[in-house]
Amino acid sequence: MTRFVRRGAAVLAGTAAALLASVSAANAASGTWSSGGISGVHAQGSWKTEYSKLYFSGYVRDTACDGNPVKLEIRFSQIIKGVPFWYRSETVTNYNGCGTNRNFSYNTYQPGKTIAVSVKECKIGGGLGSIDSCSGWATVVNTAV
C-alpha cells in the first residue's frame, strides 16, 4: 500500500469514528425521576436513551408500614402532534413490606419518536372489596429516542 493510500484510509477511518461518536452523542440523553405521589409509597429511578431505545428503571418502596402492598403503574406513550398515545403499560407491585424496595427495568424501541413515561403510585387496599388509594398520573420522562 502506498503512503498516500494508507494516510487516506486512516483519515477516512478517523472521520467515520468521529461521525459515529457525534451521532451517538446527539441521540443520547439521560436523567433521573421521582414520583412523589402519595404518602406511604415512594418511587424513583433513572432513564436514558441510546440507539433508538428508551431505558426506564427504578424502584417502588413501601413506606406505609400498614401491612398492605404498594404498586407503581407505568404508562409508555408516543407523542404525536403534541398528543400522547398510550401504547404500553406495566405494573410493579411490592409485596415485601415496610421499608423494602421492588426494583424494575424496562426498555422500549421507538426509533425517531418522542416518548413520554407517566407513573402513578398506589397503596393497595386490604381485604376483599377494598379500593386502592392512588395518586394521579405524573409524566416523569418526555424525550425523543
Right CATH for 30-144 from 3.40.50.720, 2.60.40.10, 3.40.50.12160, 3.90.550.10: 2.60.40.10
Domain boundary assignment for the chain: 30-144
Instruction: Write down the pLDDT at residue 125.
Output: 84
Q: Is the pLDDT of residue 26 over 90?
A: no
DSSP designation for 66: S
In this predicted structure, the answer to whether residue 16 has a pLDDT above a threshold of 60 is no
Region 64-82 average pLDDT? 93
pLDDT per position as a tens digit, 75-112 = 999 999 989 899 999 999 999 999 999 999 999 998 88
Residue 131: which pLDDT band, with cuts at 50, 70 and 90? confident
Retrieve residue 126's grid coordinates. 386490604
Question: In terms of pLDDT, which residue wins out, 7 or 81?
Answer: 81
Cα separations (Å) of 68 from 25, 80, 130, 133? 44, 38, 11, 11
Tell me how far the alpha carbon of residue 5 is from its chain's centroid: 47
Amino acid (1-letter code) at residue 64: A
Average pLDDT value over all residues in the chain: 83
